[in-house]
Amino acid sequence: MDPMIVVDAVSRRYGDRTVVDGVSFAVPRGAITAVVGKSGSGKSTLLRMINRLVEPSAGRVLVGGRDVAEEPGPMLRRRIGYVIQGIGLFPHRTVFDNVATVPRLLGWPRQRVADRVGELLDLLGLPRSFGERYPSALSGGEQQRVGIARALAADPPVLLMDEPFGALDPLIRRKAQQDLLALRARLGTTVVIVTHDLDEALRLGDRIAVMEEGRLLQEGPPEELLRRPAHPAVAALMEGARRALRLLALVSVGDAAEPADPAAVGLAGRPRIDAEASLEEALSVLLWAGADSLAVDGPPGGPPREVTLRAILARARQE
Amino acid sequence: MTVPAAGTLPLPAARRGADALAAVLVALALCALCLGPFVSLKPNRIAEGEPLMLWSAVSGPAAAAVLGLLLAGLGALATFPKPAVRILAPASGLAAVFAGVIAASATLVPAGDKLARVSPDWGFWLAATCMALALTDSAARARPSPGLRVLAVAVTWLLVLAVLQAGLLDGLSVMREYAVRSEVFWREMARHVALALGSAAAAIALGLPIGLAIHARAGARDPVLAVLTAIQAIPSIALFGLLMAPLAWLAHAVPAVGALGVRGIGAAPAFIALTLYALLPIVAATVTGLAGVPPTAVDAARGAGMTRGQILRAVELPLAFAAVLSGVRVVLVQTIGLTTVAALIGGGGLGTFVFQGLGQTAIDLVLLGTLPIVAMAVTAGILLDAAAEGLRWTP
Ligand SMILES: Nc1ncnc2c1ncn2[C@@H]1O[C@H](COP(=O)(O)OP(=O)(O)OP(=O)(O)O)[C@@H](O)[C@H]1O
Ligand SMILES: [Mg+2]
């Protein structure tokens, strides 16, 4: 299938500085690509060239197979959700009006706008009564969620997010990440997300793009970047010494579980772990319990399964 | 920003005890009344006035009542000033000295005497100023809501007009001046208001687009603001003078323009000069207001797919509104005052009386022009302040 977003040899210069330099990559339909890199490496500029908030100096961008330069910027941007770095809510408008921005620009009827705003507040775990508040009466994390709701309001097929979860505490951040994955699973949204947090990139990204000084060092599935970094800077970013654990974090227990022999002694007394958990967590539980296998919970009705230390070690080993 | 309703914020600790400022001001008013002449009595317009102390100007009990009231106010302010006392003490003092002037003009001018006149003297002026200051300070600290402020202004105007209408002040020298030229007064008043409001409106109509056009272009912004600042720095009379020659030439060269009443002197150059003066505050306020719009909000608006015009209407202008309104306030107050000078080049307005009075060393005539100007300027200031606060976007 055609990729949803194609970035083709795109550069951006400011004066004689090239802040994005010949970057090419594609985001498959319904995939999440996480862009990581140091501050000032050109991540935001790259993201903003996809919806033409920044015009490329060279190269082209296709969204849904069409060159974005063919369409007036405002029309294009109404179809692309954008979560701005630094929240950027309208301080003079209520939360409701902030979230309703794009649907109103698209001329949705009032009732549909109201229903949609309510739905989004629910989705992001904000009480509906917040609709009447002004952004100044919200915490940083709540404001950030309103910013995400605003970007999602018109069900855009493409979502660009610039460090969207930065102001959230770890727990809510985890929840927001799961919500994003659920959303993508439900609506098939194609997402490009810029983040400073490598764990977040690994958790969310189907693919990861590493930027440095305007250049794209490597782009590919997380496992590939961990196992075969194409550049010393990528290896450094993946924190070489911990990459075995990071690899384990990518795999769910369910994927590594093996059928357990029901006759084996003590299966019922063994420590248990959820099939949805990662192998990294499973390893931690094993180390803590001093055991060498765990009973796997779920899915319900299935045969009994276990995950063994040996299977985990095999997954973490260099190929 | 909202201003919390009165009473929700504890006053600063130092203010909870005696109200030192108001007390000092009221004490000063008392001294002024005891040491300075309250009014002076002139047998006719040009004769030298005879200064009279409060107790010679009004009956003994009346003088005692005025002084007693002030003393009581002072006592209250020095000991247990509740917010109501802080306002009531200077307000009643102010009312008392005005009542004193009314009483003086009633007792001192014999009925039927159309020539004798009473002018307030420096004892009165100082006392009234002190108490007006104390009242303003207390009123400001009570943080009245915008609506309440508008109401207070309206009530004050009605009260003053009622007192004037009832003829209570007819013995005052200012009113004597008014009596002989009431028709001219209202004509010049209307002219003054028309010139001031008209040029302020023109400045807003021109200044807003200029501000919008230059705020995003640093290359244009600095020169435009520099030119407008230079215009502001030209003394008003010189600016009127500078406009005379080109307008006279224009009226001569283009008869149609002359037929509209445009001349080198008169209302046209006055209007143009006042508009030019008002441009800087409007343009500067617009530029400041737009500069204060959070860039992330504009960026988010672009990101959401708003067009330039939609961003301007829905984001930039509402967020810059408070600043623009404060520019409008400056312009209105400034223009109402500056319109006085229009009289010098035949533009009319209340300045006519001011300059006539100065020429004839008839200070009462100067007051006839000045007092309404001050009253209108203060009113405009209060009303626009209230509007700016009432219309601000933040909850
Ligand atoms: N409008 C502009 N004019 C000039 N330089 C710019 C402009 N916008 C960005 N830059 C420069 O381009 C470089 C990349 O900026 P960009 O915002 O894309 O970085 P980033 O990777 O998103 O950084 P961060 O992680 O801090 O957000 C920076 O050095 C920045 O100073
Ligand atoms: Mg950035």
Report helix, strand and coil shares of chain A as percent, to nearest 5: 40, 25, 35
Do B265 and B365 belong to one domain? Answer: yes
Whether residue A105 sits in one domain with residue A74: yes
Length of chain A: 319
**pLDDT higher than threshold 80 for residue B334:** yes
Mean pLDDT of B160-165: 90
Residue A244 above 70 pLDDT?
A: yes
* pLDDT interval class at B12 (50, 70, 90): very low
- Domain end, chosen from A240, A274, A297, is at A240
> Chain B residue closest to A80 (CA)?
B304
Whether residues B81 and B184 fall in one domain: no
Does residue B168 form part of some domain? no
CATH at residue B32: 1.20.140
Residues B192 and B332 in one domain: yes
At B14 the pLDDT is 45
Which whole number is the average pLDDT over A271-300? 85
Residues A236 and A288 grouped into a single domain: no
- Highest mean pLDDT pick, A287-296, B154-163, B165-174: B154-163
A199 and A63 in a common domain: yes
A·B CB contacts under 8 A: 69
Please indicate, yes or no, whether residues B126 and B190 belong to a single structural domain of this protein. Answer: no
Could you tell me if B102 and B191 lie in one domain? Answer: no
| Inter-chain residue contact B394 with A75, CB threshold 8 Å | no
Determine whether the interchain pair A88/B305 forms a contact, defined as Cβ–Cβ distance below 8 Å. Answer: no
What average pLDDT does range A182-210 have in this prediction?
91
Question: For chain A, what percent of residues have pLDDT higher than 90?
Answer: 55
Average pLDDT of chain B, as a whole number: 86
Looking at residue B376, its pLDDT comes to: 94
- Do B340 and B351 meet the contact criterion of CB atoms below 8 Å apart? yes
Q: What does the pLDDT look like over A111-170, one tens digit per residue?
A: 999 999 999 999 888 999 999 999 999 988 899 999 999 999 999 999 999 999 887 888
CA-nearest residue for atom 28, ligand 1, is A40
Q: Is the pLDDT of residue B215 over 90?
A: no
CB contact under 8 A, A90 and B305: no
Give yes or no: residues A275 and A225 share one domain.
Answer: no
Q: Give yes or no for residue A43 CB within 6 A of ligand 1.
A: yes
The domain containing residue B94 runs over which residues? 6-143
Question: Is pLDDT at B6 greater than 50 in this prediction?
Answer: no
Q: Do B393 and A91 touch (CB under 8 A)?
A: yes
Ligand 1 proximity of A45 Cβ (cutoff 6 Å):
yes
Last residue of a domain, one of B124, B143, B162: B143
User: What's the full length of chain B, in residues?
Assistant: 395
Please indicate, yes or no, whether residues B366 and B293 belong to a single structural domain of this protein.
yes
Q: Which CATH number covers residue A193?
A: 3.40.50.300
High-pLDDT (> 90) share of chain B, %: 41
Q: A172 with A275, same domain?
A: no
- The number of the ligand 1 atom at minimal distance from the alpha carbon of A196 is 25
Do B239 and B298 lie in one domain? The reply is yes
Residue A246 counted as domain residue: no
Q: Is the pLDDT of residue B9 over 60?
A: no
Give the total number of structural domains in chain B: 2
Residue range B108-134, pLDDT digits in tens: 888 777 788 888 899 999 999 999 999
User: Residue B55: which residues within 8 A CB-CB, separation 6 or more?
Assistant: B63
Same structural domain, A29 and A126: yes
**pLDDT over threshold 90, residue B211:** yes
Does residue B366 lie in a domain region?
yes
Q: Which of residues 125-154 of A touch B (CB under 8 A)?
A: 133-134, 136-137, 147, 150
Residues A207 and A58 in one domain: yes
A86 touching B, CB under 8 A? yes
Helix (H, G, I), strand (E, B) or coil at A302: coil
> Where in the sequence is the domain holding A187, given as residue range(s)?
3-240
Q: Is the same domain home to B202 and B257?
A: yes
Q: Closest Cα of chain A to B224: distance in Å? A: 27
CA-CA distance, A11 to B388, in Å (whole number)? 47
Residue B8's pLDDT band (boundaries 50, 70, 90)? Answer: very low
Does residue A20 sit in the same domain as residue A168? yes
Domain check: are A187 and A217 in the same one? yes
Q: What is the mean pLDDT of residues B245-268?
A: 75
Over range B237-254, report the average pLDDT. Answer: 77
Rg (CA), chain B: 25
- Report, as an integer, the average pLDDT of B5-11: 41
Same domain, A236 and A256: no
Indicate which CATH number applies to the domain containing A301: 3.10.580.10
Q: Which helix (H) or strand (E) holds A4?
A: strand A3-14
User: Which ligand is closest in space to the CA of residue A36?
Assistant: 1
When CB atoms are compared, the residue of A75, A88, A134 closest to B305 is A75
All residues of chain B having their beta carbon less than 8 Å from the beta carbon of residue A86 are: 296
What pLDDT score does B394 carry?
Answer: 52
Task: Name which of B299, B305, B315 is nearest A84 (Cβ-Cβ).
Answer: B299
- Closest among A197, A208, A191, A126 to A152, alpha carbons compared: A191
**Ligand 1 pocket residue status of A260, Cβ below 6 Å:** no
- When pLDDT is averaged across residues A161-189 and rounded to a whole number, the result is 88
Q: Is B45 on the interface with A (CB under 8 A)?
A: no
Average pLDDT for B375-381: 93
With a 6 A CB cut-off, is A190 part of the ligand 1 pocket? Answer: no
In a domain, A245, yes or no: no
Task: Report every protein residue that has its C-beta within 5 angstroms of ion ligand 2.
Answer: A 44, 85
Contact of B304 with chain A, judged by CB distance below 8 Å, is answered with yes
Crossing angle of the two packed helices B173-180 and B363-390, in degrees rounded to 10: 100
Q: What is the mean pLDDT of residues B331-349?
A: 89
Boundary-marking domain end, from A219, A240, A261: A240
Per-residue DSSP letters for B121-173? -HHHHHHHHHHHHHHHHHHHHT---HHHHHHHHHHHHHHHHHHHHTTTTTTBH
Nearest-angstrom CA–CA distance, A270 and A307: 11
In a domain, B155, yes or no: no
**Is residue A44 one of the residues assigned to a domain?**
yes
**Six-digit token string for A118:** 């309510």
A201 and A68 inside one domain: yes
Q: Measure Cα distances from A96 to A100, A123, A153, A262 in Å.
A: 6, 14, 11, 56
pLDDT value at A208 more than 50:
yes
Q: Do B184 and B320 belong together in one domain?
A: yes
Q: Identify the domain boundary among B143, B169, B194.
A: B143
Most confident residue range from A93-107, A230-244, A280-294: A93-107
pLDDT level of residue B229 (50, 70, 90 thresholds): confident
Residue B262's Cα: distance from chain center in Å? 29
Q: Are residues B254 and B110 in the same domain?
A: no
Residue A113 has a pLDDT of: 95
For residue B206, what pLDDT band results from cuts at 50, 70 and 90?
very high
Q: What is the mean pLDDT of residues A241-246?
A: 78
Question: Which of A51, A92, A137 faces B303 most closely, judged by CB atoms?
Answer: A51
Q: Does A140 map to a domain?
A: yes
Q: What pLDDT score was predicted for residue A267?
A: 63
Question: Structural domain tally of chain A?
Answer: 2
Mutate to test the pocket of ligand 1, among A10, A16, A43 (most ligand atoms within 8 A of CB): A43
Q: Hey, which of A21, A36, A41, A212 would you mutate to test ligand 1's pocket, going by the most ligand atoms within 8 Å of its Cβ?
A: A41
User: Do A75 and A198 sit in the same domain of this protein?
Assistant: yes
Residue nearest to atom 2 of ligand 1 (CA): A14
pLDDT at B11: 44
Identify the weakest region by mean pLDDT among A60-69, A131-140, A221-230, A269-278: A269-278
Same domain, B270 and B377: yes
Q: Which amino acid is at B168?
A: L
Of B117, B143, B169, which closes a domain? B143
Q: Is residue A256 part of a domain?
A: yes
Percent of chain A with pLDDT over 70: 97
Interface of A with B in 19-58 (CB under 8 A): 51, 53
Closest by alpha carbon to B25, among B143, B102, B138? B138
Domain check: are B217 and B138 in the same one?
no
pLDDT at A275: 84
- Looking at this predicted complex, what is its ipTM? 0.83
| Last residue within a domain, chosen from A211, A240, A269 | A240
CATH number at residue B297: 1.10.3720.10
Residue having the nearest C-alpha atom to atom 25 of ligand 1: A39
Average pLDDT over residues B79-102: 86
Burial bucket for residue B114 (CB in 10 Å: 0-12, 13-18, 19+): exposed
Q: How far is the CA of A61 from the centre of ligand 1 (A)?
A: 19
